[in-house]
Every structure is written in structure tokens, then in C-alpha cells.
Structure 1
Amino acid sequence: MDLFESRNIKPMLIAENVEPFNSHEHIFELKLDGSRCIAYLDKDEVDLRNKRNVKLIPKFPELSNINKQIKKRCILDGELIVMVEGKPNFYELQRRTLMSNKFKIELAYKQHPACFIAYDILYLEDRQITDLPLIERKKLLAKTVKENEQIAISRYIEYNGIDLYKLTELQELEGIVAKLKDSKYYFGKRTHDWVKIKWLLDDDFAVCGYIEKDNNMTSIVLGQYKNDELVYKGHVTLGVRKSDLIKKGKAIESSPFSTIPQGNEEAIWLEPNLVCTVQWMPRQNKGMNQSVFKGFRDDKTPKECIVK
């Protein structure tokens, strides 16, 4: 079946974090703090889908006309972002994805409109082009998209990955991605053709419960799966709102872990059906230093939160 008509693309994945480097064989671009998605665009329609193939335009109606910025029918791989104070804000983005009330969605996009940042093109006019080298796809992408406030093209530089990474540190951005210039696009696969170089680290966790602390603070109990067994992974407190947990979580009587982790005897346990993202500052010693709750996400299931 034609790739445009089937509409079930699994995005190519990015390999785990590496140290900054320079390379004549790579291009380097910013790693944006958003949500990966695929855009199916032609003259009559915009169909934006996340990694779970869920349609996103109902949540982000301000992007319903980005097809007018496309010269030919195409499929784009990119990032959905919401800017707050000049930086991508993952919390505001995920807050929107969880909304269902049309009036609240309208208020949200008037305050913080979303933008689609395209960094690859997979299909053009009437053919799949994933076997072309990345640098050739980038050139076709630039010829196909006319940028405006709702859609833009990810900028990249050649060779100098170390200096670009240092700039992300200065600006407190997530980091960068390095991609081989001649890399093909492999649906749903993770290869070392594309690698992350991150300053701020993050990961996804199943929400397993919460603990009420002093000063009206709430701490989420985190877990990840190993061989289908839920493993305790600590807590996050900064950025957590108790009202969100009560509204979204389903309380259960007993711990979802095989045994109650030490220090969690007073926890209010939740059915582990929510996923959240936690960000922290890297340090030489392991652990989530200065961890911050970034938000819930609906494009990933708890069973996809795996112990690394």
C-alpha cells in the first residue's frame, strides 16, 4: 500500500547519549524539547500523528492549515513544540495533549501556540524517498516547505558538534542530535546513524503513586519495567501538582510493586497506567540530581518505560 495512504509510520529512533564530537561525516542539529510526530500533508488535508499514531490536530487546531505551506504532497518527520518565554516547554505541550474541552484548547493555543518543526522528509509527491541519503532529503525538505509561524525547518550545521553542544549548555537547552549525512531512514528502528548528545538528561516512568509531604508538596513514586515486572525508580517532587494526580490517576489499595519500597510506607498507590517524564542535571555520580517533573505524556505506554 502507498505510504501516504497507509498512515502508520513508526518514526526512526535516536540512539542513546554520547559525548560531544566533531565530524565531517555528520550534521548536527538542536534536540528540541517537544513531541515527535509525523505530518501527512497534501493540498486538502493536514494529518498530524504522534508515535502511537494518534491524530493530533483536534488538540492543536492552530496547525490545521500548515498544508498551505507545502509545495507538493509529502510526509514529514518532525517535532511538535510549544514555546514559552523563548524556549520549547514540554509541560505546556503535554498539558495540551491531555485536554479534551474545546474551549480550554482554544484558550491554550491563543496563549501558547504550537509549531511543527520538520527535520526530515519521507515521501514527496507520489514516492517514498527514505532510501535517499539524509543530506539529499534535507535539500528536498528545504525546497518543499515554505516556513511561517506554524511550520519551520530544523537548522543544522556541519562538522562542529562540540561548539553547538556548548551553546546548548549556555542556553540551558536539552542538547543536540548528530546524524550521518548518508544515513537512510529506517522505520521504527534505532541505529547509531543518529545519536543524542544531551546536556539535560530525561527519562520516562510509570506513575505508581504519590506521597504527601510538608509545605503542601507532593512527591510522585516512579517505576519502570524489567521483564514485565515493575521496578521502583525513586521519586520526583519539583513541578508536581497533586490536583493532576487526583484527576488523572486511579487509586488502588495495595502497592503495584511486588514489595513496598523502603520509605514508601505512607504512599497513596495508583494504578500504573500514567506515564510521566522526569528531567535532571547530569553529574559524575549516577542518580537523578535536581530532578524536575516535566509532565505527563500520552504517546507512550507504561510498559514502554524500560529499565536501562
Structure 2
Amino acid sequence: MDLFQSKNIKPMLIGEMQEAFNNPDYIYELKLDGERCIAYLDKDATELRNKRNIKMLVKVPELSTIHKQVKQRCILDGELIVIKDGKPDFFEIRRRSLMSNTFKIRLASSRLPASFTAFDILYYNDHSVIDLPLMKRKKLLEKVIIENERIATSRYIEEHGIQFYQLAKQNELEGIVAKRKDSKYYCDKKTKDWIKIKYLLDDDFVVCGYIFKENGVISIVLGQYSGKELVYKGHVTLGISTEDFKLIESMPRISAQPFNELSPGNDTAVWIEPNLVCIVKFMMKTSNGSLRQPIFKGLRDDKDPTDCTIH
């Protein structure tokens, strides 16, 4: 089936995390702190869909005319971002993706407009280009987009990954991604052709419950899947916004904890249906898999809870 007509692409995913390295067989791009999206663009319309194939244009109406910035019908893979204080701000794009009030969305889009940064092209003119090597796709991408303040092409450098990573670190950016120059695009697959090199570590967890502590402190109980089993992964207390907790607290409660094994210290937990996903930042994982200095980064609705797996 034609990729453009079916509009059901699940993007290729990063398959590995490593330390920074130099290699002439790779290009290096900034890892933008936003929300991954596939853009379907032709002469008449823009359509943006996230990783779960949910339509996103209603959340970012300021991007409804980016199809006018491409020279051919195309499908682009990229990142929805909101720039705040000169950097992509994950909280702002996540906040927008959770909004439903049209007036508030319009207000947010005029105050801090979103943009789309394309780093790959999957379809050009009337055919799929996923079997072309990455560098040929990059040339097509540069050829097809007319950049403006709402749509841009991701910049990259060749060979010098260590220096580029150091630059990202100095600017407290999320990190970089290394991509093999001759790699094809594999929809809905994790591949080691793309390597994540992160300065700020984070991971996705299922929100399984919450605990009220002294002095109004709230702790979120975290889990990740191992096969079909939900495994307890500890708590996060810092960084939880009132907005996020209201959504967590509104989830249906369940009578029993959802794990096979549970550590002590959860006697007063309120257990909820494990349907929400959150991102947690941390300094490192200990040898037993617990998180050191975890900070709640925010809820996300572009990932299914069953995709939060132990690795």
C-alpha cells in the first residue's frame, strides 16, 4: 500500500546508547528535546502524526501550512519542538500535546510557537525512499524543504562525534545521535544504525500509583515491563507539577498493587490503572537498576505503557 495514502507509519527507533565516538562512517545530529512526529505534506495539506499515529495538528495549529514549504509531496520524519530561552523545551511541547482547550492552544501557539525540524525523508514525489542510503535521503531532504520559522532541516556534522557531543554538553542540550551513512530506514524497528549519545539520561516509566508523604510531598511509583510482567522500579518525588499530578490523581484506582514483587515502603500507596507514561531524568542507574537522583520530567501521551521496557 502507498505510504502516503495509508498514513500509518511507525518511525524507526534508536537501538543503542554509547559514549561519544569519532567515525567517518557516521554523521552526528543534535538530539532535540521534543516530540517525534511524522509529517505528511502535499500541495493542499499538512498532516502531523505522533509515534502512536495520533493526529497532532489540533495541538499545533501554527504548523498547518508547512506543506507550502515543500517542493514535492513528501513524508518527513522529525521532531516537534518549542524553543524557549534559545533551547528546545520538552515541558512546553509536552504541555501543548496534553491540551484540549482550543482557546488555550491558540494562546500558547502565539506565545511560544512550535516548529518542526525534519531529519529524514521517507517518501518523495510519488514513491517510498526508505531503501535509499541515509546520505541520499539527506540530499533529498535538503532539496525538498524551503525553510522558514516553522519548518527546518536538521543540521549534521561528519566524523567528529566527540567534539560535537562536548559542544552539546557545554550548552546543556540533551545529547546527540550518531547515524550510519549507508543505513536504510526501517519503519517500526529499533536499529543499531542509530546510536544515542546522551548528556542528560532519562527513561520512560509506567505510572503505577502515588504516595502522600509528610509536608504535602508526593511520590510517584514507577514500573517497567519485562515481557508481560510489570516490574517495580522505585519512586520519583522531585519535579512533579500540579498539572501532572491532577491527571495522575484522576486515573481510576485499583485495589491491589500491580507488581509480582514489591519493595517495602509502599504500604500507603494509592494504586491506579497503569495507563500513563512519564519520563524521568536521573544521574545514573545503580547495579540493581534503581535510579540515582531521579527527577520527574513530565507525562507523555505518545508512548504506550507496554513500550516502557527494562533494558
Q: So what's the TM-score if we normalise by structure 1?
A: 0.95
Partner residue, 2:59: 59
1:107 counterpart = 2:107? yes
**Cα shift at 1:261:** 2.9
Counterparts of 2:86 and 2:114 in 1: how far apart (Å)?
Answer: 13
Whether contact under 8 Å (1:39, 1:49) holds in the other structure is yes
3-state SS of the aligned residue for 1:255?
A: coil
Residues 209-265 of structure 1: CA deviation (Å, up to 9, x unaligned) = 111233432111101111211111011112113553333422233322235431111
1:158 counterpart = 2:158? yes
The range that moved more, 260-269 or 34-43, is 260-269
Unmatched 5+ stretches in structure 2: none
3-state SS of the aligned residue for 1:48?
A: strand
The change in CA–CA distance for 1:267 and 1:243 in structure 2 (over 3 A counts) is farther
Partner residue, 2:297: 294
Whether contact under 8 Å (1:30, 1:175) holds in the other structure is yes
Counterparts of 1:247 and 1:284 in 2: how far apart (Å)?
Answer: 30
**Aligned match of 1:255 in 247, 254, 257?**
257
Counterparts of 1:243 and 1:60 in 2: how far apart (Å)?
Answer: 20
3-state SS of the aligned residue for 2:223?
A: strand
The change in CA–CA distance for 1:283 and 1:163 in structure 2 (over 3 A counts) is farther
1:38 counterpart = 2:42? no
| Structure 1 residues 230-249: aligned runs within 5 Å | 230-248=230-248, 249=251
Counterparts of 1:271 and 1:7 in 2: how far apart (Å)?
Answer: 30
The change in CA–CA distance for 1:168 and 1:284 in structure 2 (over 3 A counts) is farther
Number of positions where the alignment pairs a residue of Structure 1 with one of Structure 2:
308
Whether contact under 8 Å (2:60, 2:114) holds in the other structure is yes
Partner residue, 1:217: 217
**Percent sequence identity over matched residues?**
60
1:192 counterpart = 2:187? no
Counterparts of 2:114 and 2:214 in 1: how far apart (Å)?
Answer: 36
Whether contact under 8 Å (2:244, 2:299) holds in the other structure is no
Whether contact under 8 Å (1:218, 1:241) holds in the other structure is no
1:271 counterpart = 2:277? no
Counterparts of 1:211 and 1:172 in 2: how far apart (Å)?
Answer: 32
Residues 60-83 of structure 1: CA deviation (Å, up to 9, x unaligned) = 111101111111111101011112
**Aligned match of 1:304 in 267, 286, 307?**
307
3-state SS of the aligned residue for 1:78?
A: strand
Amino acid at match of 2:271: W
The change in CA–CA distance for 1:180 and 1:217 in structure 2 (over 3 A counts) is same
Q: So what's the TM-score if we normalise by structure 2?
A: 0.94
Amino acid at match of 1:4: F
Whether contact under 8 Å (2:244, 2:298) holds in the other structure is no
Whether contact under 8 Å (2:16, 2:194) holds in the other structure is no
**Cα shift at 1:283:** 7.3
Partner residue, 1:70: 70
Partner residue, 2:140: 140
Residues 94-153 of structure 1: CA deviation (Å, up to 9, x unaligned) = 121111110111122222211100001111111111111111111111111111111111
Counterparts of 1:10 and 1:260 in 2: how far apart (Å)?
Answer: 34
Unmatched 5+ stretches in structure 1: none
